[in-house]
């Protein structure tokens, strides 16, 4: 299988992860013009599963180092198999709740509260499970990103003031989503031998196998989670599988593209964990909050017409974000 050979390359792939995790939401925004997010989400999950299979039989099966995809899958222990599946189930539940929170409370509440909480808790969990980074530099970087997320939330709140009042349901959904999301990476990382991808411990997984099993956990759990949300949505009227199959090919393709984008970021994050460490891989990936903010500010023009105070908040948001990323990267090189 293909193995990342250097820390600098691992960081580069982690940055791609951040871009992917922060950009897939654009496909949901495009589809939302004619497509409910519950229906979009099926195509999104299908895209992730398809990508996991492609990576398994390509990069996961070439070269002489490590174990090939099929060989690795056949020797996985039941404990590690269920750990990666659980990671997929947890992420799926958290991501659906986060999407529901966005539909109720808006981006100004859902992303700062949900993803911000996921970043803080997730870095702590992943550092404790596989600590190989300088804790002072790492957590200083995380703190700067947290402040940047807060600034983002304040700026978004000022723009949304007077338009709608965030409901307590949306806030609590974001809190639950963020708490759940902070755990998913830990379970997947625990199923991989992140310290030795070249000769992984028997029973543990390579990144490609872990990604595939994780995707299967998402797919299977989606039949429960998304079916329930379709029938009893947090907002709007119920939708059915008939509605899903009535969608056009181009509409379905947008959702699949969203899954491919998010999935690419995820498999690169798993691949990078061996050299960068689980904490850094996760932290850089969850910097996607600011990538999403970039899309909102400069592409979708969500802050068009904002006053001086909002623009100042946005300036410091991006400054703190870049500074925090730099510290996280440096922490792994010590």
Instruction: Provide the token pair at 194.
Output: 């992140």
Which pLDDT tens digit goes with each residue over 130-178? 555 688 888 898 899 888 878 877 877 676 554 554 457 877 888 899 8
* Distance set, CA 6 to CA 10, 14, 45, 287 (Å): 6, 12, 31, 21
Instruction: Say how far apart CA 214 and CA 237 lie, in whole Å.
Output: 31
Which residues of the chain register pLDDT less than 70?
Answer: 105-109, 111-112, 126, 128-133, 157, 159-167, 302, 332-334
The CA R_g of the chain, rounded to the nearest whole Å, is 19
Residue 296: per-residue pLDDT: 76
Half-sphere exposure of 40 (CA within 13 A, CB side): 23
Instruction: Say how far apart CA 31 and CA 258 lie, in whole Å.
Output: 10
Among 260, 224, 271, 264, residue whose Cα is nearest residue 4: 271
Domain ranges of the chain: 7-131+165-277
Half-sphere exposure of 135 (CA within 13 A, CB side): 7
Among 245, 244, 281, 276, residue whose Cα is nearest residue 266: 281
Q: Note the helical H segments in the chain.
A: 7-23, 25-31, 37-57, 69-75, 78-105, 107-110, 116-129, 135-160, 168-190, 207-231, 241-245, 249-276, 278-286, 288-294, 308-331
Which pLDDT tens digit goes with each residue over 115-130? 778 878 877 776 765 5
Task: Give the relative orientation of helices 249-276 and 7-23 as an angle to the nearest 10 degrees.
Answer: 150
User: Cα 311 from chain centroid?
Assistant: 27
User: Cα 62 from chain centroid?
Assistant: 27
Instruction: Say how far apart CA 243 and CA 111 lie, in whole Å.
Output: 28
């Amino acid at each position: 299988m293909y193995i990342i050979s250097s820390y600098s390359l691992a960081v580069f792939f982690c940055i791609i992860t951040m871009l992917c995790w922060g950009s897939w939401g654009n496909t949901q925004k495009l589809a939302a013009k004619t497509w409910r997010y519950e229906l979009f989400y099926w195509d999104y999950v299908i895209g992730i599963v398809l990508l996991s299979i492609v990576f398994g039989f390509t990069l996961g099966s070439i070269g002489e180092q490590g174990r090939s995809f099929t060989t690795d899958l056949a020797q996985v222990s039941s404990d590690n198999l269920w750990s990666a599946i659980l990671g997929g189930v947890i992420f799926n539940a958290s991501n659906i709740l986060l999407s529901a929170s966005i539909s109720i409370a808006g981006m100004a509440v859902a992303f700062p509260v949900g993803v911000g909480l996921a970043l803080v808790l997730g870095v702590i969990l992943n550092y404790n499970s596989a600590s190989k980074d300088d804790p002072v530099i790492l957590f200083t970087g995380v703190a700067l990103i947290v402040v940047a997320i807060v600034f983002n939330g304040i700026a978004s709140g000022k723009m949304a003031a007077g338009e709608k009042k965030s409901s307590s349901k949306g806030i609590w959904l974001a809190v639950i989503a963020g708490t759940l999301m902070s755990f998913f990476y830990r379970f997947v990382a625990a199923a991989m031998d992140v310290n030795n991808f070249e000769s992984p411990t028997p029973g543990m997984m390579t990144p490609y196998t872990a990604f595939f099993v994780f995707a299967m956990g998402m797919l299977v759990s989606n039949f429960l989670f998304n079916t329930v949300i379709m029938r009893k949505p947090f907002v709007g009227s119920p939708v059915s599988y008939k509605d899903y199959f009535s969608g056009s090919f181009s509409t379905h393709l947008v959702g699949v593209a969203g899954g491919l984008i998010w999935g690419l970021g995820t498999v690169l994050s798993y691949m990078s964990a061996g050299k960068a460490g689980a904490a850094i891989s996760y932290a850089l990936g969850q910097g996607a909050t600011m990538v999403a903010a970039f899309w909102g500010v400069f592409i979708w023009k969500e802050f068009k017409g904002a006053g001086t105070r909002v623009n100042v908040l946005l300036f410091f948001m991006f400054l703190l974000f870049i500074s925090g990323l730099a510290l996280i990267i440096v922490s792994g090189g010590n």
